[in-house]
Amino acid sequence: MHDITGITKGGLGWTPQFVEHINQEKCIGCGRCFRACGRDVLNLVGITEEGELVAADDDEAERKFMTIAHPEKCIGCEACSRVCPKNCYTHASMSLAVSVSA
């Protein structure tokens, strides 16, 4: 298995780190990551006192936190993680199986 890698404009190797998890206990729902991501990967949701997930703008929402709505749209730039004040994000590289013919 080999990690997906690319080359920057300057010719340097780069391995994208794709969003894998958001620690919802640490997330304060500030929305900085949402604004930093131009790929529609994230979604802000609310949670009631009873633990029910609701829309972020619902009056019943006790607190808000970010979720990964569309992980398939992530390009691995880590912009979300760089702006997060609570260090809530976990990222990982993606491996590809490469077959070598003899």
pLDDT in the model for residue 23: 98
User: What is the domain range of residue 55?
Assistant: 20-89
The reply to whether 2 falls in a domain is no
CA dihedral 85, 87, 90, 93 (to 10 degrees): 70
In a domain, 94, yes or no: no
Q: What is the CATH number of the domain that holds 83?
A: 3.30.70.20
101 within domain boundaries? no
Question: pTM value?
Answer: 0.84
Answer whether residue 67 is part of any domain. Answer: yes
Output the six-digit token pair for 7.
Answer: 């080359």
Domains held by the chain: number: 1
Any domain includes 36 = yes
In a domain, residue 83? The reply is: yes
Whole-angstrom Cα distance, residue 54 to residue 52? 6
Residue 34 lies in a domain: yes
Residue 9 placed within a domain: no
| pLDDT greater than 90 at residue 65 | yes
pLDDT at 50: 95
| Percent of the chain topping pLDDT 90 | 89
Q: Would you place residue 96 in the very low, low, confident or very high pLDDT band (cuts 50, 70, 90)?
A: confident
Quick check: 41 pLDDT over 60? yes
